[in-house]
Structure 1
Amino acid sequence: MADHGLKFEIESKTVAEFRSLNKSGELILQPEYQRQVVWPDRARVSLMETILLGYPIPEIYLAYETSPDGEQKASVVDGQQRLTSLLWFLDNKFALDGLEDEKLKEKFEGMFFRELPADVRQEFFQYRFPIRRLSNLADEFVRAVFARVNRVNMVLTEQELRNALLPGPFNDFLKDCAAHPISAVSGVFSGERRRRGGDLEFYAEVFSTCVFGLSNKKAELDERYDKISADFEHYQDRAAEFLALLAFLKDTIKWVGRTRWSNIVDMFTLLHVSWGVREDLSNADLQRTGQIRDLLDLFQRAVSAKKRKDENGEIAAFSASLSSMLQMAPEEVDDVIEGYMSGIRNSSDLGSRRARSQNLSLLLVKKLKG
């Protein structure tokens, strides 16, 4: 058994003690490696119901760090969702809606904490949480414990585990990508996807594809992620170019309502193909940039019309406009659209990704070189 000098002490804390720790600033609910708050209201209410019933809950892991001056902080390694829900309830941020126990439902349904009877609130404050205390551990060991506990419990996504185990410049770069205005204006990420790190994983996958080439996501992403994270300095110039590309596309694409580029699959392809011609795009004058904008807009409209089986009879008009713009025969344009469409099915396998990229690239390169 490995011996890292780890100290795991078992103790307990009351609800009142957690409230005091939080108010004094000694409780760090969301260390850098922690995921965001993702529990739905029903889970929060269920936890409060468990406390009201006096039933036990799983232990909470706290990592304590004491400074040479005697100042102490407690970081939540495991139990962030539970403690955040608890403190929110104490702050009257949600009510007891949807209680399952019939007796509690009859007494307290719909009540905020402040509305509970005084004796119930007093007892609630005295409820004890089981604590696993980690004392003065190096950050790497705390992160390892966090990842190990959550991997065993199967509650973290792969990206949430990467965030915990691989902090540093690459992770910071991915956060910059996720926070870029293109993420908001495109509407490509749902709230749930962002909360579970899906936006970071998307940009990690796209950037690694731009650097190393197309691959099957499941087979390659972890290996590529580790490689870039271990030597991000080597990739910093390309990271800067990638952020510049995001800015170009954000300002160039016609973001009117939801477009094809609002879908993960299509945005992935757009970024990968644009990366291949990034120098030509950055050197394009205003007229050529406007033509690229129109080309990409016509293309995504044509694909959407084809996907909905051209219910409005628009595909012919879109194909004709693309044909005229690119000086291609209409049947060639139709073949490109059909080829791209074939890559939307089984969207993450290598063949599908290649089909999408090859067909969009054909049009984009023809316009830039023409």
Structure 2
Amino acid sequence: MADHGLKFEIESKTVAEFRSLDKSGELTLQPEYQRKAVWPERAKVSLMETILLGYPIPEIYLSYETSPEGEQTASVVDGQQRLTSLLAFLNNKFPLDGLEDEKLSEKFEGKFFKDLPADVRQEFFQYRFPIRRLSNLADEFVRAVFARVNRVNMVLTEQELRNALLPGPFNEFLKDCAAHQLSTVSGVFSGERRKRGGDLEFYAEVFGTCIFGLSNKKTELNERYDKISEDFEDYRDRSTEFLALLTFLSETSKWAGRTRWSNIVDMFTLLHTSWGLRKELFNAQSDQRMQVRDLLDLFQRAVSARKRNGDNGETAALLTSLATMVDMTDGEIENIVEEYTSGIRNSSDLGSRRVRSQQLTLVLSKKLKS
């Protein structure tokens, strides 16, 4: 058994003690490696109901640090969702809606904490949480404990585990990508996907694909992630280029409402294809950039029309406009759009990814070289 001189002490804390720690600033609810608060209201209410009933809950892991001056802080290693929900309830952020226990429901349904009788609030404050206390651990061990506890409990996504175990410049680069205006204007990420680190995982996969080539979804993601994270300085210049590409696409493409590029599958293809043509895109003059803008818009509309209605007048008109723009025949463009559309099925399959990138590259490179 490894011995790092670590102390794992078992103790307990009352609700009142947690509130005091939070108010004094001695409690860090969301260390850098933690995921964001993602519990739905029903889960929060269920926890409050458990406390009101006096039932036990799983232990909370706290990492304590004591400074040479005797100042002590506690960071939540595991239990952030529970404590965040608890403190929100104490601050009257949500009511007790949907209580399952009939007796509690009769008394407290729809009430905020401030509305509970004084004796109930007093007893609530005295409820004790079981605590696993980790004393003066190095950051790497705290992260390891966090990842292992959550891996065993199967409550974290793969990306949330990577965020915990692999901090550093690559992780910061992915955060820059996720915070980029392209992510906002495209509307490509749902709120739930962002909460669980799906936006970071998406950019990690796209960037890895740009560096190492296409692969089946997730097949090589962990290996590539580890390599880039470990040797990020080797990829620093390309990360700068990648961010520049995001800026180019955010400023060049049409983003009025949702488009095909607002879908994860199509955005993946757009980024991968554009990366292969980035030199031509960056060197394009303003008029050519506007043509690229119109081309991408026409292309995604043609794909949507074909996917939605098959062969009809709307699709034909879009294909004709697209063919004129890139100096191809209607038949050639129709084949390209049909191939791309077929590649949307089995969207994460290597063959499908390859088909989509090849077809979009055919159209985009034709315009850039004209």
Which TM bucket (shorter chain)?
Answer: over 0.9
Q: Distance in 2 between matches of 1:311 and 1:278?
A: 33
Q: How do 1:85-96 residues align onto structure 2 when only pairs under 5 Å count?
A: 85-96=85-96
Q: Distance in 1 between matches of 2:72 and 2:181?
A: 38
CA apart distance, 1:312: 6.8
Secondary structure of 1:235 counterpart: helix
CA apart distance, 1:311: 8.3
- The one-letter code matched in structure 1 to 2:360 is L
Q: Distance in 1 between matches of 2:284 and 2:231?
A: 32
Q: Distance in 2 between matches of 1:155 and 1:71?
A: 32
Question: For residue 14 of structure 2, what is the aligned residue in structure 1?
Answer: 14
Question: For residue 344 of structure 2, what is the aligned residue in structure 1?
Answer: 344
Q: Distance in 1 between matches of 2:323 and 2:203?
A: 33
Question: For residue 103 of structure 1, what is the aligned residue in structure 2?
Answer: 103
- The one-letter code matched in structure 2 to 1:146 is F
CA apart distance, 1:274: 0.3
Instruction: Give the TM-score of the pair, scaled to structure 2.
Output: 0.99
Secondary structure of 1:218 counterpart: coil
Question: For residue 192 of structure 1, what is the aligned residue in structure 2?
Answer: 192
Matched, 1:132 2:132: yes
CA apart distance, 1:217: 1.9
Unaligned 5+ segments in structure 2 are none
Superposed CA RMSD: 0.8
Cα 1:296/1:92, change in 2 over 3 Å: same
Q: Distance in 2 between matches of 1:313 and 1:36?
A: 47
Question: For residue 217 of structure 1, what is the aligned residue in structure 2?
Answer: 217
Secondary structure of 2:156 counterpart: coil
Question: For residue 271 of structure 1, what is the aligned residue in structure 2?
Answer: 271
Q: How do 1:49-198 residues align onto structure 2 when only pairs under 5 Å count?
A: 49-198=49-198
- The one-letter code matched in structure 2 to 1:151 is R
CA apart distance, 1:313: 2.9
Question: For residue 283 of structure 1, what is the aligned residue in structure 2?
Answer: 283
Q: Distance in 2 between matches of 1:293 and 1:84?
A: 44
Cα 1:248/1:120, change in 2 over 3 Å: same
Secondary structure of 2:313 counterpart: coil
CA apart distance, 1:234: 0.8
Secondary structure of 1:133 counterpart: strand
Q: Distance in 1 between matches of 2:205 and 2:218?
A: 10
Question: For residue 203 of structure 2, what is the aligned residue in structure 1?
Answer: 203
Q: CA-to-partner distance for each residue in 1:119-153, whole Å, 9 max, x for gaps?
A: 00000000000000000000000000000000000
Q: CA-to-partner distance for each residue in 1:34-81, whole Å, 9 max, x for gaps?
A: 000000000000000000000000000000010111111100000000
Secondary structure of 2:39 counterpart: coil
Question: For residue 292 of structure 1, what is the aligned residue in structure 2?
Answer: 292
CA apart distance, 1:256: 1.3
Question: For residue 355 of structure 1, what is the aligned residue in structure 2?
Answer: 355
Q: Distance in 2 between matches of 1:313 and 1:105?
A: 59
Q: Percent identity?
A: 80
Q: Distance in 1 between matches of 2:258 and 2:197?
A: 22
Q: Distance in 2 between matches of 1:19 and 1:276?
A: 53
- The one-letter code matched in structure 2 to 1:11 is E
| Number of aligned positions between the proteins | 370
Secondary structure of 2:19 counterpart: helix
Matched, 1:324 2:313: no
Secondary structure of 1:314 counterpart: helix
Cα 1:87/1:336, change in 2 over 3 Å: same
Secondary structure of 1:11 counterpart: strand
Question: For residue 335 of structure 1, what is the aligned residue in structure 2?
Answer: 335
Q: Distance in 2 between matches of 1:5 and 1:307?
A: 61
CA apart distance, 1:204: 0.4
Secondary structure of 2:240 counterpart: helix
- The one-letter code matched in structure 2 to 1:263 is N
Q: Distance in 1 between matches of 2:10 and 2:128?
A: 13
Q: Distance in 2 between matches of 1:188 and 1:208?
A: 19
Instruction: Give the TM-score of the pair, scaled to structure 1.
Output: 0.99
Matched, 1:255 2:221: no
Secondary structure of 1:217 counterpart: coil
Q: Distance in 2 between matches of 1:48 and 1:313?
A: 58
Q: Distance in 1 between matches of 2:23 and 2:310?
A: 59
Unaligned 5+ segments in structure 1 are none
Q: Distance in 2 between matches of 1:105 and 1:259?
A: 46
Q: CA-to-partner distance for each residue in 1:85-117, whole Å, 9 max, x for gaps?
A: 000000000000000000000000000000000
Secondary structure of 1:65 counterpart: strand
- The one-letter code matched in structure 1 to 2:32 is E
Q: Distance in 2 between matches of 1:209 and 1:219?
A: 12
Q: Distance in 1 between matches of 2:4 and 2:351?
A: 46
CA apart distance, 1:342: 1.4
- The one-letter code matched in structure 2 to 1:366 is K
Q: Distance in 1 between matches of 2:312 and 2:202?
A: 33
- The one-letter code matched in structure 2 to 1:65 is E
CA apart distance, 1:218: 2.0
Q: CA-to-partner distance for each residue in 1:176-218, whole Å, 9 max, x for gaps?
A: 0000011011000000000000000000000111111111122
Q: Distance in 2 between matches of 1:276 and 1:6?
A: 49
